[in-house]
Amino acid sequence: MKILHTADIHLREYEDNRWRALQRLIEIGKQEKVEIFVISGDLFDKGINAETLRPKIREIFSNNGFKIILIPGNHDSKSYKIGMYFGEDTIIITNLDEPFEYKDLMIWGLPFEPIKGEEILKKLRLLANNSATDKRNILLYHGEFLDAFFSRKDFGEEGEGRYMPVKPSYFKDLNIDYVLAGHFHSKFDMWKLENGGYFVYPGSPISITRRETGQRKVNLFEVGKPPKEYLLDTPHFEDVVIEFDPFMLENPVEIVKEHIEKVHSEANIILTIRGYINSEEAKKGETEVVKQIREITQGKSVVEEHYEFKDIHTILEDDLFKSFKEKLEQSDYDEEKKKQLRDMAIKAMMKASS
């Protein structure tokens, strides 16, 4: 049995990029012949978005050939009132004591609530006492996994507050095979729990903020096997960082072109160019380099540009620097160390001449 697992789509408008990302996930579910599609919270960005989009959600959440199971997150915690209809295939779990049973699975939901510590443990003890012994148990959860190396920006624009935090030790005595989680935006990440199960964040399937860079992923796995990342062709932000080396003979603009050509077609590029050029060798100064870079990036989605490189041809022609460079080349240092020392010398001479 295959399960497709995502979270944190943060829908806002019909047929925008986020909506199209959701449609793409539905298509993947059909292509991969999944039986269950899990959305572990924050399908909607706000309650008003849920109310506006619900008629359209009903259409794409019906007649797909698989169940769609979701829990509320911190952004859409009040969007699923009793009796609301979200589509023929849709099951919404709003209470931990009301699991959904499907074949040899028991699927539990721990939706977001503004609770922590002992209150969370109390809920998990309920799960410990009621989990199925003759089926695989899956827990859907929306919140923060502590004891992991996250920064606040990994959870989107959530500020400094804690969101229903749990520790690995909370799951130690639970008969849980998978914790399919949401709230962590930046990337796919997975941990093996002490009880033998898995805790997995799929990351958001589309970049919600510019801090979420790189091609997006979902969790697509077979029950009984480890979670598995699946690459998506959805819009995302991509950091492209290039450092010019004035001692390389290659045209600096061609270097940028090579990097840009490798970027995914759905990427929104955050372009940063550092390092140094020798305008005498390159036959072009800083202004011309920037102009040519902008020409070759036409037609690409460059959303930010950071031009931090400098022309240092006067330093490179300085007799003192030439003498230093000659001695450095004769040294036994590896190439990386030589580059570090060259950069230090360049920076020192730039500071002395300023």
> CA–CA separation, 4 vs 10, rounded Å?
18
- Give φ, ψ of 279 to 5 degrees: -65, -25
Q: Which of 216, 231, 214, 217 is nearest to 270 (CA)?
A: 214
> Is residue 156 a contact partner of residue 185, using CB atoms and an 8 Å limit?
yes
pLDDT of residue 161: 62
pLDDT of residue 293: 97
> CA–CA separation, 164 vs 74, rounded Å?
9
Structure tokens at 257: 């072109």
Which helix (H) or strand (E) segment is 295 a member of? helix 286-296
DSSP secondary structure letter of residue 175: -
Q: Which of 219, 263, 276, 255 is nearest to 237 (CA)?
A: 263
> Is residue 179 a contact partner of residue 141, using CB atoms and an 8 Å limit?
yes
User: Cα separations (Å) of 343 from 120, 261, 262, 314?
Assistant: 53, 28, 28, 15
pLDDT of residue 151: 53
CA-based torsion, 308, 309, 311, 315: positive or negative: positive
> CA–CA separation, 57 vs 84, rounded Å?
12
- Long-range CB contacts (< 8 A, 24+ apart) of 340-347? 342/247, 345/321, 346/276, 346/312, 346/315, 346/321
pLDDT of residue 149: 55
pLDDT one digit per residue (tens) for the chain, 354 residues: 999 999 999 999 999 999 999 999 999 999 999 999 999 999 999 999 999 999 999 999 999 999 999 999 999 999 998 889 999 999 999 999 999 999 999 999 999 999 888 899 999 988 888 998 999 999 999 999 986 555 545 555 555 567 899 999 999 889 999 999 999 999 999 999 999 999 999 999 999 999 899 999 999 999 999 999 999 999 999 999 999 999 887 899 999 999 999 999 999 999 999 999 999 888 999 999 999 999 999 999 999 999 999 999 989 888 999 999 899 999 999 999 998 999 899 989 888 876
Measured at the alpha carbon of residue 321, what is the angle toward residues 315 and 322, in degrees to the nearest 5?
110
> CA–CA separation, 142 vs 156, rounded Å?
13
* CA-based radius of gyration for the chain: 26
> Is residue 246 a contact partner of residue 281, using CB atoms and an 8 Å limit?
yes
For 129, the 3-state DSSP assignment is: helix
Side chain identity, residue 253: V
**Helix residue ranges per DSSP H, 85-194:** 118-130
